[in-house]
């Protein structure tokens, strides 16, 4: 166990300094000191989940006030996610437990936001899986990089920027609906396809940058094989029609949540990231089923059974490792 666990972050977000100064700090200064930072973290997560569920339950293609719900809850979540740490530092309650809880729930929040982004654009099935896979995969890569190098790296365009853009899109959805919004085009390229490509390609590039930084610091890059191959296998399963997009979205989100939580718990225990051979084997099997499907062998029943079992197993393992991490983080508390 690492007795001197330290949190180091490099956040290059363009809007974050302004957001903290103008929004977060003035409100945090008025919060009661008795309020626990972890309560703020939990409230933010629940608000974000409420926004996603509101859209998933109704999701009217032609617009509706329901889209204003996540437009509001996104901003509330964004505030909570920045306020919990600020409040912890202000009240002297910063701890490894708070870090684990914050980052662990943020893995789920990233998956929620990626799904919401795809729905807000009326993305195609393949586009939806691409956004969830690449965006959630980029978050998992950041956690792997942190466990390997000790530094939590965030780019120029991150949470604050994404919140403002997505909330704006959701407001437009409330008026015209995701179908009409996504169908806007410049020549043959629709807005839906353009944003899907930029978001997916940008997130995939961020994953590669994480691997580059780890390699540059002479860290072990082999675990990145699992992170990247898993995403490739999920995308191939949809492209080959081996899995339905709903199944692929579930296994993708759960797989990257597991990989992220696993690296968080390893960090709490003072251990380096692992290859995660179980996930790697699953990715190879799914990729093989997709190749066979493309060659004319119907592997859909086998792949769907494997995906269902894999989703359940990864969910159980995520909960297990989260409990291990919480136990270790509690031991490290001052």
CATH of residue 187:
1.20.120.1760
Structure tokens at 97: 């437990």
The answer to whether residue 156 is domain-embedded is yes
The answer to whether residue 105 is domain-embedded is yes
The answer to whether residue 13 is domain-embedded is yes
CA distance 273 to 321: 13
* pTM more than 0.75: yes
The 3 state secondary structure assigned to the chain is CCCCCCCEEEECCCCHHHHHHHHHHHHHCCCCCCCCHHHHHHHHHHHHHHHHHHHHHHCCCCCCHHHHHHHHHHHHHHHHHHHHHHHHHHHCCCCHHHHHHHHHHHHHHHHHHHHHHHHHHCCCHHHHHHHHHHHHHHHHHHHHHHHHHCEEEECCCCHHHHHHHHHHHHHHHHHHCHHHHHHCEECCEEHHHHHHHHHHHHHHHHHHHHHHHHHHCCCCCCHHHHHHHHHHHHHHHHHCCCCCHHHHHHHHHHHHHHHHHHHHHHHHCCCCCCCCHHHHHHHHHHHHHHHHHHCCCCCHHHHHHHHHHHHHHHHHHHHHHHHHHHHHHHHHCC
Structure tokens at 74: 């996104």
Among 309, 300, 284, CA closest to 234: 284
Residue ranges making up the domain that contains 162: 8-332
How do the pLDDT tens digits run along the chain, 334 residues long?
444 567 777 878 889 999 999 999 999 999 999 999 999 999 999 999 999 999 999 888 788 899 999 999 999 999 999 999 999 999 998 888 888 889 899 999 999 999 999 999 999 999 999 999 999 999 999 999 999 998 888 877 788 999 999 999 999 999 998 988 888 888 888 999 999 999 999 999 999 999 999 999 999 999 999 999 999 999 999 999 999 999 999 999 999 999 999 999 998 888 999 999 999 999 999 999 999 999 999 999 999 999 999 999 999 999 999 998 888 888 776 6
Tell me if 308 sits within 8 A of 243, measured CB to CB.
no
The answer to whether residue 187 is domain-embedded is yes
At 12 the pLDDT is: 81
At 87 the pLDDT is: 94
The answer to whether residue 277 is domain-embedded is yes
At 326 the pLDDT is: 86
The answer to whether residue 3 is domain-embedded is no
At 5 the pLDDT is: 66
Tell me if 150 sits within 8 A of 6, measured CB to CB.
yes
Instruction: Give the contacts of 181 (CB within 8 A, at least 6 positions apart).
Output: 120, 121, 122, 169, 172, 173, 191, 192
The answer to whether residue 2 is domain-embedded is no
The answer to whether residue 1 is domain-embedded is no
CA distance 216 to 221: 10
Four-residue CA torsion sign, 208, 210, 216, 222: negative
Tell me if 312 sits within 8 A of 253, measured CB to CB.
no
At 2 the pLDDT is: 43
The CA R_g of the chain, rounded to the nearest whole Å, is 20
Number of domains in the chain: 1
């Amino acid at each position: 166990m690492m007795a001197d666990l330290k949190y180091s972050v490099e956040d290059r977000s363009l809007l974050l300094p302004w957001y903290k100064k103008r929004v977060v700090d003035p409100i945090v200064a008025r919060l009661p000191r008795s309020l626990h930072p972890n309560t703020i973290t939990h409230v933010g997560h629940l608000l974000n989940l409420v926004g996603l569920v509101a859209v998933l339950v109704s999701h009217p293609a032609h617009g509706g006030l329901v889209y204003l719900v996540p437009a509001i809850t996104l901003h509330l979540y964004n505030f909570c996610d920045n306020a919990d740490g600020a409040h912890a530092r202000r009240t002297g309650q910063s701890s490894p437990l708070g870090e684990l809880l914050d980052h662990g729930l943020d893995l789920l929040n990233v998956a929620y936001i990626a799904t919401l982004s795809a729905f807000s654009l009326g993305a195609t099935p393949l586009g939806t899986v691409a956004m969830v896979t690449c965006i959630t995969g980029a978050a998992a890569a950041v956690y792997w990089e942190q466990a390997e190098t000790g530094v939590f790296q965030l780019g120029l365009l991150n949470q604050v920027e994404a919140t403002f853009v997505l909330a704006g899109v959701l407001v437009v959805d409330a008026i015209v609906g995701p179908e009409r919004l996504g169908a806007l085009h410049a020549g043959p390229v629709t807005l839906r396809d353009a944003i899907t490509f930029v978001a997916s390609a940008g997130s995939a590039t961020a994953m590669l940058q994480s691997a580059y930084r780890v390699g540059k610091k002479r860290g072990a890059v082999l675990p990145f094989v699992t992170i990247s191959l898993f995403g490739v296998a999920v995308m191939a399963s949809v492209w080959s029609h081996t899995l339905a997009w709903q199944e692929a979205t579930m296994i993708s989100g759960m797989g990257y949540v597991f990989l992220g939580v696993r690296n968080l718990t390893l960090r709490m225990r003072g251990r380096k990231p692992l290859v995660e051979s179980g996930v790697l084997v699953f990715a190879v099997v799914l990729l093989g089923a997709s190749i066979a499907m493309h060659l004319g062998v119907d592997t859909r029943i086998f792949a769907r059974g494997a995906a269902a079992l894999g989703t359940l197993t990864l969910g159980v393992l995520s909960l297990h490792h989260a409990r291990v991490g919480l136990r270790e983080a509690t031991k490290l508390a001052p």
